[in-house]
Structure 1
């Protein structure tokens, strides 16, 4: 999953990000409500972890704005506020879960797994293009019967290409949806990751699935 953490306590935010990435997720950080809203509007996230006591605008206001803008990404509140009225208020504003701080990280991971099972449907548990198969829940990729070893970023990149199979995905789109918002467009990190993913999926079965369209972006052929 690609997860956005909106948390102004930077040490805690980095801890959560590191833990999520160690367990196969891709995580971005925002340290204020406004920054978080900008991230969600410009990125493709499967889940938002939201603190309530944020500078600029509170987590409650973030929830209201997300819904007002028509952004339906699932939101889990992580907050030290334990007043039942606050819990009810957050859930009524559209949050799908509420975890009180301090929390055990294993509980956070378990709740994320529950949400993942709840939101996955028979249509999006498995993505298939040609002889390439991506299993989102178990986070693995199989090509022509062979399991491929992909890093978290490579997995997220391939997922984006598979979801948009047959369509051009620009470098800007990849940067916004897969990388941090402060990604340097002058670097070649996307090209390097595309090369690595192409090399791995071309090793078995159908070759040449990922096309490079100079000046436009990349496209996963449907064959």
Structure 2
């Protein structure tokens, strides 16, 4: 089964090209370490939330843009081996010295996919989500996510991935648990929906919301939607 490293970070808007250059330069190394795909997406439609949101997740300042990114590996063993190389390879240390963003506020962790739907393809836009889900509701959440993935694909999405993060590490400044105010009995889900373009996403969302399969059926939601973090992002790197 595949494995995903998820990232959320804040980058000064003026450093956009510097960040793209930095990320692009790192692709050969991560491919060498076993990654099969590296995606960086730039915040485009990232709303403020009443309880939580992406900007608060990484303590973004007014001059910064939130990035939602992920790295795909064929399995957890490959990812774990890659992490050891990342920590010890001097080339990574050299790259880390010139980061065009505040790495102390970047949040990252590994996640195991529980839903992978769609073949993907050329991605022109992505919706990103962080969701707090009680550990006891894992099966119920997966069932709901599988149903929603079918609806999204029926209305234009090319790929839907839902990843379960249990036992995530604590961060000194920020982390995934703080991002959604997760409780000790909750896991954090890192998920993304890929679209061929922003226009397809806008058209698709209207159809998704009107689809009767997405209407409440009277059962309780298996997570607290008030603490779900979400936003729309434009790809700046998909390698």
Tell me the TM-score normalised to structure 2 length. Answer: 0.27
More strand by share: 2
Rg bigger for which structure?
1
